[in-house]
Amino acid sequence: MSPDDDLRRIALQEERLVFTQFGQEEAWAVGLWLRQAGLARGGVMVVDVSLHHQQMLRLTVGPATPDHDDWVRRKRNTALHFARSSYAIGLTLAQQGTTLEAKSGLPHRDYATHGGAVPLVVTGAGCIGALTVSGLPQREDHTLAMAALAHVQARDISDITLT
């Protein structure tokens, strides 16, 4: 699949996976689903759900390191800043042949444009937080995050899943 195809699908994912509400119960449901997916897959995975810059849930599967925490922080910052998935931002910048620091002045030490952080959007409120998955290849991090949001909302996104 081409970057253009991925960007189209990601835009549709972000459009469809808007919540009517999102709080502690939804954060827990997302985390529980991701934990099960991570255990089934194996390896290392860190999950973070933050609302209004407050961490609601954090979990690890496998032996995570402080480096994983830094990736979570940097990806989350990107999703919150742009209210777009970190993967979409990274793909867009790659197509433009530039970096986040060159285009927006945002330092690499605080922002990452690798896949895995997705905005949590509520109808009427906009972006209220971010779900971040880190530890897998970036495309898988993104796909798992979106699958978790779809699961919690009981929505089928198989037609727009990154393949």
Homologous superfamily assigned to 3-153: Haem-degrading domain (3.30.450.150)
89-140 pLDDT tens trace: 999 999 999 999 999 999 999 999 999 999 999 999 999 999 999 999 999 9
pTM score over 0.85:
yes
Side-chain half-sphere CA neighbours of 93 within 13 A: 21
- Percent of the chain topping pLDDT 70: 100
Which of 135, 141, 145 shows the shortest CA–CA distance to 43?
135
pLDDT for 145 beyond 90? yes
User: How many other C-beta atoms are found inside a 10 Å radius of the C-beta of residue 146?
Assistant: 26
User: How many other C-beta atoms are found inside a 10 Å radius of the C-beta of residue 45?
Assistant: 25
Alpha helix stretches (DSSP H) within 42-106: 66-82, 86-96, 100-104
Q: Where are the domains of the chain?
A: 3-153
35-57 pLDDT tens trace: 999 999 999 999 999 999 899 99
CB of 125 closer than 8 Å to CB of 22: no
